[in-house]
Amino acid sequence: MASVEQNKKKEDLEHYLKELGSVAVAFSGGVDSTFLLKAAHDTLGEKCIAVTAKSCSFPERELKEAKAFCEKEGIRHLVVESEELDIEGFRHNPKNRCYLCKKELFEKIWKIAKEEHVVAIAEGSNLDDNGDYRPGLQAVAELGIKSPLRASKLNKADIRALSKDLGLPTWNKQSFACLSSRFVYGETISEEKLIMVDKAEQLLLDMGFHQVRVRIHGTIARIEILPEEFPKLVEGTNRNLITKSFKEYGFTYVTMDLTGYRTGSMNETLNSDL
């Protein structure tokens, strides 16, 4: 059950959303944006819409879950093609890749918002996101996108606790980031390689691993899973299935990262001044 302090933050969030009047929520179906969308719809009703990007960097399973949630909650849901691979420079995977993608996406959502007579766009970054390298937040600032969760000082733990109280299916959903984040900076992103990563991660999820990242370094797959699941990965039958399947997907070498799963591991190569 959420604490008194956490419920106070939820009240602050509802007040913030009410002041917006109407809102289009950039909805990925993850923990944060699902909670934000639920709060916005509960507060604003039909003056709240959800917009989700359809993208080769966004697995179809995630889009299906987003659609199912909106249908269940009775929320108007629009899907926009993000087409990030067509953005100049994006395929080269520069350090500001996320900025390029978010800027293009939010510009498209603004167009939809104006057509729908919605006055604000909201995205789901939370207080914890202030501590990592997140160039996408530059696009948020430049385009006047609202960040209600950060404004209400809600962190991930708060959001999970409040989501559980609301009965949201995402309260314990594992963290997810777009598939383009699996590439080392400077390595070319292609639809073919995105499919390789998606298939590899789906296999591991189907095998019962709880938190999964398959990072791509050329033709090397670097698997990140929870340390407590290391023995399961290297068990004979599983190891054979994983290596055989990954090579069928197009990888030459299959490795396991001994540090284990963590968010933003590709950012570890960036200079500290970023």
Percentage, residues of the chain above pLDDT 70:
97
pLDDT at 272 over 60: no
The two three-digit tokens of residue 94, written as one number: 């520069």
Categorize the per-residue pLDDT at 27 as very low, low, confident or very high, splitting at 50, 70 and 90. very high
Q: What is the pLDDT of residue 266?
A: 77
Task: Read off the pLDDT of residues 111-140 as tens digits, 9 standing for 90 and up.
Answer: 999 999 999 999 999 999 886 677 889 999
Q: What is the pLDDT of residue 135?
A: 85
pLDDT at 274 over 50: no
CB 201 within 8 A of CB 221: no
CB 219 within 8 A of CB 253: yes
Categorize the per-residue pLDDT at 263 as very low, low, confident or very high, splitting at 50, 70 and 90. confident
pLDDT at 198 over 70: yes
What residues contact 197, with CB distance under 8 A and at least 6 apart? 179, 182, 214, 216
**Domains parsed from the chain with CATH numbers:** 4-166 (3.40.50.620), 179-269 (3.30.70)
Q: What is the pLDDT of residue 132?
A: 66
The two three-digit tokens of residue 16, written as one number: 């913030």
Q: What is the pLDDT of residue 84?
A: 93
pLDDT at 76 over 90: yes
Per-residue DSSP letter, 83: -
What residues contact 107, with CB distance under 8 A and at least 6 apart? 143
Q: Is-catalytic flag, 101?
A: no
The two three-digit tokens of residue 153, written as one number: 């000082």
Question: Which residue in the list 48, 56, 101, 178 is annotated as catalytic?
Answer: 178
- Work out the average pLDDT over 240-250: 98
Check the CA dihedral 129-132-134-137 and report its sign. Answer: positive
Task: Read off the pLDDT of residues 50-72 as tens digits, 9 standing for 90 and up.
Answer: 999 999 999 999 999 999 999 99
Average pLDDT, the chain: 95
Q: What is the pLDDT of residue 270?
A: 65
N-term to C-term CA, the chain? 38
DSSP string, 161-181: HHHHHHT-TTTTPPP---GGG
